[in-house]
């Protein structure tokens, strides 16, 4: 009887141990699955964060490069404009001081003579001269312009002219601007492409 009881107890212990081991194995398996899922999710999240960070970094780099290129273009445009303005000012000063009243009067007289002889004296020319030099220029023009043509050549002072002159052909409603400012702008416009080339080469 005692042997049978002991055998029963041993069997109960063995079955309990097997159940405990099975339960422990199931728990370990479940824990491993959960751990694997957590690791996989963490890896996925990490990969997503890294990908987003790379995209943001690339976008930031692109924006930085675009901003740098735009800033470079702005600087070049500012330098070009400043150089063109300085060239225009320098040319204007040169034109103002290179011709005295006598030389300028001679040019005006020859232009008026050529036009009136070609077109006839039925047309008039108005010559706009700088107000500050008007007296000297008027005397210089009349001294070199034939008397019969002077009545068709009207000399008028203009405050806006600092140097040079403007020709107005009244019969044709045409104006030619030979002021120092207009000539300086024309020369600067011609020089601007060369300035741009120099800046580009240096950059």
| pLDDT tens digits, one per residue of 177-202 | 888 888 777 777 776 666 656 555 54
Q: Is residue 119 part of a domain?
A: yes
CA 25, distance to chain mean position in Å, is 73
List the one residue out of 171, 173, 168 whose CA is nearest residue 111: 168
List the one residue out of 193, 197, 103 whose CA is nearest residue 141: 103
Q: Is residue 25 part of a domain?
A: no
End-to-end CA distance of the chain: 109
pLDDT at 94: 64
pLDDT at 199: 54
pLDDT at 187: 75
Contact residues for 164 (Cβ-Cβ < 8 A; gap 6+): 95, 96, 104, 130, 178, 179, 180, 181, 182, 183
Q: Is residue 189 part of a domain?
A: no
Domain count, the chain: 1
Q: Is residue 105 part of a domain?
A: yes
d(CA 153, CA 116): 9
| Predicted confidence (pLDDT) per residue in 131-171, tens digit | 888 888 888 888 888 888 888 888 989 988 888 888 888 76
Q: Is residue 67 part of a domain?
A: no
pLDDT at 104: 84
Give the structural domain span for 122: 99-172
Q: Is residue 9 part of a domain?
A: no
| Predicted confidence (pLDDT) per residue in 61-119, tens digit | 888 778 777 877 777 777 777 766 776 676 666 666 666 788 888 888 888 888 888 77
3-state SS, residue 198: helix
Q: Is residue 66 part of a domain?
A: no
pLDDT at 59: 84
Q: Is residue 93 part of a domain?
A: no
List the one residue out of 176, 179, 168, 164 whose CA is nearest residue 100: 164
**Whole-structure pTM value:** 0.50
pLDDT at 203: 45
């Amino acid at each position: 009887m005692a042997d049978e009881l002991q055998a029963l107890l041993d069997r109960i212990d063995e079955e309990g141990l097997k159940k405990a081991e099975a339960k422990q194995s199931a728990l370990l398996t479940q824990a491993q699955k959960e751990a694997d899922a957590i690791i996989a999710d963490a890896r996925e999240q990490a990969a997503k964060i890294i990908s987003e960070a790379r995209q943001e970094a690339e976008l930031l780099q692109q924006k930085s490069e675009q901003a740098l290129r735009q800033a470079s273009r702005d600087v070049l445009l500012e330098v070009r404009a400043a150089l063109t303005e300085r060239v225009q000012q320098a040319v204007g000063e040169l034109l103002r001081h290179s011709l005295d009243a006598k030389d300028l009067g001679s040019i005006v007289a020859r232009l008026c003579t050529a036009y009136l002889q070609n077109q006839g004296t039925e047309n008039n020319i108005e010559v706009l001269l700088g107000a500050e030099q008007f007296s000297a220029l008027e005397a210089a023009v009349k001294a070199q312009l034939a008397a019969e043509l002077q009545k068709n050549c009207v000399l008028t002072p203009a405050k806006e002219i600092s140097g040079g002159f403007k020709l107005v052909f009244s019969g044709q409603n045409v104006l030619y601007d030979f002021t120092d400012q207009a000539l300086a702008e024309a020369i600067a416009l011609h020089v601007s492409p060369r300035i741009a080339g120099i800046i580009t080469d240096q950059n």
